[in-house]
Amino acid sequence: MSWFAVKTRERNLQDGLVHPCNMCAVRDHSVCASLDADEQARVNQIMTQIDMGDGSTIFDEAEPATHVFNITSGGVKVYKLLADGRRAITGFLFPGDFLGLMHRESYAFSAEALSATKLCRFPREKLERLLEEMPKLEHRLLGLASHELAAAQDQMLLLGRKTAKERLASFFLLLSNAARRHGRPDNPIELTMSRGDIADYLGLTIETVSRTVTHLKRDGIIQLLEGNRIQLSRPAKLQELAGLT
């Protein structure tokens, strides 16, 4: 997206001419991108913007799935729990990402804001009715779902077969790539989530995450900067560790 397009969008946004979800289009994943003005207006009508504070719950697993969401700013963690409290974070979502499955009566996971987060909220029933008339939107959602599915399979490979070191390397590269896609600097990456969240995402304990980060630091592969940021000093080595070779 060119500088001009961004600026135009910002102006239109200020004037209330553009659906705020379009802000997310930097990742070309927003729900509304590729719709014409009339269609956008209709999607607009059923949408509500909401703000969530740091750590607040967006919805819980098994709750009736009344809404779906599109993230405008901030970050979200999606997770599942076992009966005894063990947790697996199945994904971190950022601006432009879609939250909530279609075609389901209840949520299959819980979602919580990582930091102050803005969301566009859609009543699922209304959105599904809209989808019947707007195949383009459904096409887009299918694209998003395919993308998520591919990411989920990468994660299954990570959880099933990678060592702690390899998991951390993969994780840092994932964040770096996500940052680049969102048009933000991809090298000193920023960890917006706690060590506990990282552990539950990578299927490790907090202590193993901490130790492994220390090892990577000692090996000169990464550097810890202030503000929970990480410098990827040897990206090629990280790639190798991540097993993407």
Contact 58, 68 (CB under 8 A): no
> Between 1 and 157, whose beta carbon lies closer to a second copy?
157
Q: Considering only 7-15, 143-151, 175-183, 228-236, which stretch makes contact with a second copy by CB under 8 A?
A: 143-151
Backbone angles phi, psi at 100, to 5 degrees: 110, 130
Asked whether position 216 contacts DNA by CB under 7 A, the answer is no
Q: Contacting a second copy (CB under 8 A), which of 203, 206, 208, 229? A: 203
The token pair that represents 73 in the structure block? 């700013």
DSSP output for 45-110:
HH-EEEEE-TT-EEE-TTSB--EEEEEEES-EEEEEE-TTS-EEEEEEE-TT-EES-SS-SB-SSE
Q: Which of 159, 233, 139 is nearest to 202 (CA)?
A: 159
| Using rule CB under 8 A, residue 117 touches a second copy | no
- Name which position in 143, 183, 185, 196 contacts DNA (CB under 7 A): 196
Q: Is 210 in the site for DNA (CB under 7 A)?
A: yes
What, of a second copy, DNA, none, does residue 200 touch, CB below 5 to 8 Å by kind? a second copy
38 vs 84, beta carbon nearer DNA: 84
99 binds DNA, rule: CB under 7 A: no
